[in-house]
Structures are given as C-alpha cells and as structure tokens.
Chain A
Amino acid sequence: MAKEYLTFVRRFSDLNEGERELFIKDLTPGPRKYDTKLVRAIIARSPESLGVDADLLWVRSETGVLDPKPWGIKILEELPPYVSGRPWSDIFEVMKKKVS
C-alpha cells in the first residue's frame, strides 16, 4: 500500500516534476506522524505516471492550503535531515542554490 507524505511550498507552481531534494513529512499514523526527512526523490504530478509502487505526496502552500490532488513520489535516498545555512535564511532559496 502506498505511503503518504506531505511537503510545503511557497506557491504550488514552485513544484516541478523530476528528481529533486525536498523535505517531506511522513503521514504514517502513530506517535511519529509528521516526522520530517530530507530526501532525494522523483516526483510527478500524476502518481500513476511513476508506476504502481509510487507513494503519494500531498502539497500545502505557505499558508497551509492543501492542493486537493496529490503528487506521486519515489524516494531514492534519505539524506541528513537538515541543510547548511545561516539561521533566518530562506530555506527554499538555500535549497534552490544547492541544486544549481
């Protein structure tokens, strides 16, 4: 059965398909629900396009609004659960620079 995760973006349009690093929250019920991981993963707008073993990725905006349609996600690698950066930096900008 597909696992479910959650990620946050500033705008829904910020999220693009393909391979990327992103913070995700594990939505598995229980006392560890919402545990945060940094992963390298392939994501796609349509979960079906990643095959039957894809997991679901729910997306919320910076005001917490939920995109009603989940994305698909395939986790390739779990990374240390943080990124290098100065406190109060914009973590999305830091992540963007990390990729480029």
Chain B
Amino acid sequence: MAFRDLREFLAVLERTGDLIRIKTEVDWDIEAGAISRRVFEEKGPCLWFEKIKDYPEGFTLLNGPLGTWRRVAIALGLDPETPVREIYREYERRVERRIKPRIVDPSEAPCKENILLGEDVDLYILPAPMIHEGDGGRYIGTWDIVICEDPERGWTNWGMYRFMVHNKNFLAGWPQATSHLAMIMKERYLPWNKPMPVALVIGAEPLCHMAATAPVPPGENEAEVAGGLRGEPVDLVKCETCDLFVPAHAEIVIEGEILPDIIVPDGPFGEYPGYRSGTMGEGVAFRVKAITFRNNPILTMTALGVPPDDSSIAASLTAAIAMKKGLQRRGVPVTDVYVPPEGVTHLVIVGVKEGGQKVVRRVLEFFTARRVMVNKVIVVDKDVDVFDMGQVLHAFATKCHPGRGMLVDYHEGRGNALTPCYSAEERRRLKGAFVAFDATWPDDWPQELIPVKASFRDIYSPSIQEKVLSRWSEYGLEKFSSKGGD
C-alpha cells in the first residue's frame, strides 16, 4: 500500500533507522546545508531539522528523503535491503502503469490548512535554506515538483527544477532552456506574452517526487505515472489562484506564474553533477500569488553535490529505465541500462545482446536525438553485468579500441549547461559533445578469432566448472563460494 503522504513515509524511515531528528537549533543559513552534505557523503540517514534559527516551532527542514537505495526501496514498499538490480526491476514494472489521479475537495486537502493570498504572501515565513556557501540565494525548491500545463494538449507536466527566493513574493528559477517546462512556456505562452500559471510543490509523498524526476515523454502526465508507481491514485486538489491541480497531501504549495516579460537573477547553485559550475542569470521570474501549507510544514531539501544524494540515487533509477525503454523503441537490442550514481547521469552504461559499431551508432543517435543531457555512454556486450562497475571498467579497458572505439557527436543549442567540463561559453550556447565508447566486439570478427574471456565462467568447459564447484567444500573454500557458485 502506498504512503498517503511524506509524514507516513518519515514514520517508517524512523522505525527502520533511516531518519534522524535533529532537535538542537540549526541555522537555515549554511549550517543545515553543511550538515546535510556531510551526511550524504557518509551515506547517512535522512535528516529532520526540528528547530530552525529565526523560525517558530513547527517550521522544520528535511534533507534527503531518497538519498540512499534503502530509502528508495522503502518508498517503493520494498524491503530496505533490496538489491539495486531488484529495485530497478520493480520500478521498471511499475512505471509502465498509469493510474489517473483522484480529485479531492479542498476540505480533504491538508495542504490547504493555511492559505496566504495577495498582500499576505511572504516567502520569508518559510525557512528556505541557504544550502551551500556561495550559492546565489536561498533555494526553497530543490526537492520539489514544479507543475505547469500545456492548455492545448491538455498536458500537465511535473518536473523538478531549482527555484530560489528572490524577495517576499518572487522566486527566481532555472528550469533548463531545453526542459519540458521551457518547451511549454516557449510554445504556448511566450508567443502571446502571457504569464504561465505554475505551482511549486514541496514535501509530497516521495514517489510523486520520483515521478517528477522521470524523463516521461512530452504529453504524458507524471501524476498518472506517480499513481502507477504508488499502485493507487494520487489525491490532487485545485490551486487557489489558477486551474492547476497539486498533490493534496503536500506540505507546502507555492502558486504563481512565470512571467513572459520580466526576469530576475537566478544562481549560481551547487548542482547535481557535483559542482557549482557557473550557470547563472539566465532563468525565469516566478511571481507568487499564494502560499498554502500544512500545519507544522516540513520543507524538503536536497543539499545537492558530489554523489550520493537524492538526485544521483533516485534520478539515476528513473533516467536508466526511461533510457532503456527509449533504446528498445529504437530497436537497440538492449539488455539493461545502468546509471551509476557516481556518474551523476553524465555517464551511462548500456548492455546490448549484440554489439558492433552499427549498434553503438544507434545508441549514440538515441542519446543525441533531442536535448543531450548525458555526455558519455559505455556500451558493453551481454556477458558484462552493467550493474557491476568492476566488470564494466574491465570491458572498457580491454575492448574499447582507443582509436576507432569512440563515436563522437558534436551539437549546439541542445547540450546540458550543467556539464562541468564545458567552458563558460559552451554552457551558455548549450554547445557540447557526446561520446559512445564501444566496449563490444566488432560484429564482423569471426567467432573463432574473438578473444576468449579468461574468467571461470568463460574459459572452462561446463564439466570442469561443475567438477570444481561440486568439490568446493572439499578444497576448504566454503567461505569464498559466493563468486564461484552464483
């Protein structure tokens, strides 16, 4: 059964030892971010800061709801010890489902317990954290859901984009210029100089946030994807100031509009690739028209940076499965896709049933067809377990020809501005490159000339393997049996 809201999820995290409440007063200005970052780097628990400097009791901060595979497993209702591969399988199965949301009356929506409208709007009543020293502002939207609508297609888009407090009733944000939000704004609102209604949701049930990170094709509603992941509908309630619908059990909802003719400075911000690499001053202005929130609101954040954190863990899952499905649609004989958290969705491992440069070329074409968020892919044969980076590295080191094993694509206007190795000029022009490393055997090599992998499984006949494994205990090697026997 799905969690009704963030609070039910936190209760379980507390029981499993995956949440710590910090009761001592913590400063929203840098201190909460620094603690959170250090705990991420120690692969530690979700942190609930219960007493925030300058803010009344009950206004709390929460870092890292999905910052470990254990917490992702718990969010999916699985055993916390579920292996990553099985988490992938379960997510892959559920993400195919679509369950329409249920519309509820405002009286059933906890996010309406407090409503600030018009002149009463004041973002400073919320303890938005200054996460990293040197950031451009207080990022209230890091682990968020940003909702907007394409009125012509009837498409409601959920995405996760950064937004910082500009002043009491303006946010500055940076949904990438190639994002779905940007696509809708540019197609449906900018040509008519119309503001775009937007809702920024903080602290919804965790699978809703996971759905917001999922690369769902344009036109598909993430609310239905979230329902599929949960196995039951997401309760939605109508906004106070526009026709958008938001998760009714969210902790905080900020309603407003992105303006077509006004800008304010956003950034810089220590981002998900693990660097503050200079994306700044090219964002959007979000005028806030209403703030609604639960009693004792919990402001969720993620102190992004060097992996692991919520982004590198949860988003790598959602990205990997979306890529696998996309590659399958293109006819690539894919076995599995793994996005290692350490690769921060810049590096992806693709396993294929049959390799060779034609297949690798199709992999490259998939990753560079539209916006190019990934810049390196290693393609490996089916004998390599994509989840085992030791095997992947071995295949890369030995099978990728240093001259002809790299297929490179250069592009402009579609690159990922958050790629740290791009120059400032390249980032601004969304100019970049993509490389597919072919770590597969060429498809035109005769079978008898393909080097034989000198592994227990590959270089010995089944009869020898069977003989050795059956006598394993006799050799006195029981404690080393896990590798040889699986």
**What are the residues of chain B within 8 A of A85 when measuring CB–CB?**
261-263
B398 adjacent to chain A (CB < 8 Å)? no
**What are the residues of chain B within 8 A of A36 when measuring CB–CB?**
137, 166-167, 172, 264-265
* Given A31-B55, A36-B137, A87-B260, residue A62 in contact with residue B280 (CB < 8 A): yes
Q: Which of A66, A84, A90 contacts B262 (CB 8 A)?
A: A84
Q: How far is the CA of A63 from the CA of B278 in the complex (A)?
A: 4
Q: How far is the CA of A31 from the CA of B190 in the complex (A)?
A: 35
A35-B168 in contact (CB<8A): yes
| Residues 253-280 of B contacting A (Cβ, < 8 Å) | 258-265, 267-268, 270, 276-278, 280
What mask results when residues 126 to 137 of chain B are scored 1 for a CB within 8 Å of chain A, else 0? 010010111111
**What are the residues of chain A within 8 A of B11 when measuring CB–CB?**
none
* Interface contact tally, CB-CB below 8 A: 107
A13 adjacent to chain B (CB < 8 Å)? no
A8-B136 in contact (CB<8A): yes
| Residues 71-91 of A contacting B (Cβ, < 8 Å) | 81-91
Interface centre among B135, B258, B282, B424, by most chain A C-beta atoms within 10 angstroms, is B282
Q: How far is the CA of A32 from the CA of B168 in the complex (A)?
A: 8
B54 adjacent to chain A (CB < 8 Å)? yes
> For the complex, would chain B's binding face be called helix, strand, loop or mixed by DSSP majority?
loop
| Residues 29-49 of A contacting B (Cβ, < 8 Å) | 30-37
User: Which residue on B lies nearest to A22, using beta carbons?
Assistant: B265
B124 adjacent to chain A (CB < 8 Å)? yes
* Given A8-B268, A32-B124, A84-B262, residue A91 in contact with residue B281 (CB < 8 A): yes
Q: Which of A8, A31, A66, A89 contacts B263 (CB 8 A)?
A: A89
B282-A88 in contact (CB<8A): yes
Q: How far is the CA of A89 from the CA of B281 in the complex (A)?
A: 8
**What are the residues of chain A within 8 A of B265 when measuring CB–CB?**
8, 23, 36, 91
Which residues of A does B touch, CB under 8 Å?
A: 8, 10, 23, 25, 30-37, 60, 62-66, 81-92, 94
11 more contacts with CB within 8 A, not counting A36-B172, A62-B281, A89-B263, are A8-B265, A10-B424, A31-B54, A63-B268, A64-B132, A87-B182, A87-B185, A87-B258, A87-B284, A90-B428, A92-B281
